[in-house]
Amino acid sequence: MLKKRSFVVVFPLICVMAVSLIVTRTQAAGDLSPKEARKLIARMAGINLPSDAVRIQSVSSLGNSAVVVAQVETAFRFVNENDKWRVAEIRTGDRNWEDVESLVRALNAEKTSRVRAELETIAIALEAFKRERGSYVESKSEAQLIDFLSPHYLARAIRVDAWDRPYEYEGTRNSYVLRSAGPDRKPNTADDITRSGSGH
C-alpha cells in the first residue's frame, strides 16, 4: 500500500553558478555585474523569480565567463512514498510550486542543445582536418581526437559534455561517430546524442 505524506522545508539555497558565454551584456570593463547576474539567475530554467528572491554574494570574472555565488530563496516539498522520502516539488521566491521532474527535463533540454552545438563544432573541425589531410582522425579516443584538432582546427579543447562525462569518439579514415552519453550518463542508451560523418 502506498503511503504518501508531504513535508515542506523552506531554507535559502546557496548555489554556485557558472555563467559563461550566455552573458553578452556586461559592464564596460567586460565584467559581469551583480545586477546582470541577478537578472540571469532569476530567469534561469524557465523560472522567472522576483529580483529580491536572488541575493548575489560574489561575482568572480574569469575572462569570458564568471562564477557567481548566489543565495536563492527556495522551498522544497517532500513526499514520502513507501517509507522513502523524495523531493517532489520546488518553489523559488513566492512563485508557484514546480514539479522537480519538469525542471530536470527543462535543464536537460538546455544541456542537450549545448551538447549538440559542441558536437557540431567538433564535426566542423573534423571536416576541416579531412579537407586538409585527406582523412578523418583514426582513433577510438576523444582525447586523442581533440589533441589532433586543437588549436589549429578547434579554437578550444572540448572534452566533456554538459553532464561532466567525456565525449566519445570513434573514427576511421572515411567515417566517424561522436557521442555524448546524454542525461542518463550511460553509453548506448536511447538518450545518447550523436553526430556522425562519412567521406564521399
CATH fold for domain 107-198: Glycoprotein, Type 4 Pilin (3.30.700)
Would you say residue 8 has pLDDT above 80?
no
pTM above 0.85, yes or no: no
Would you say residue 7 has pLDDT above 50?
no
At 77-104, the pLDDT tens digits run 888 888 888 778 877 766 677 777 877 8
The three cell numbers locating residue 54: 536572488
- To which residue does cell 529580483 refer? 51
Residues contacting residue 188 through CB under 8 Å, at least 6 positions apart: none
Average pLDDT value for residue range 16-40: 55
At 46-71, the pLDDT tens digits run 566 666 777 888 888 877 778 888 88
Q: Where are the domains of the chain?
A: 4-96, 107-198
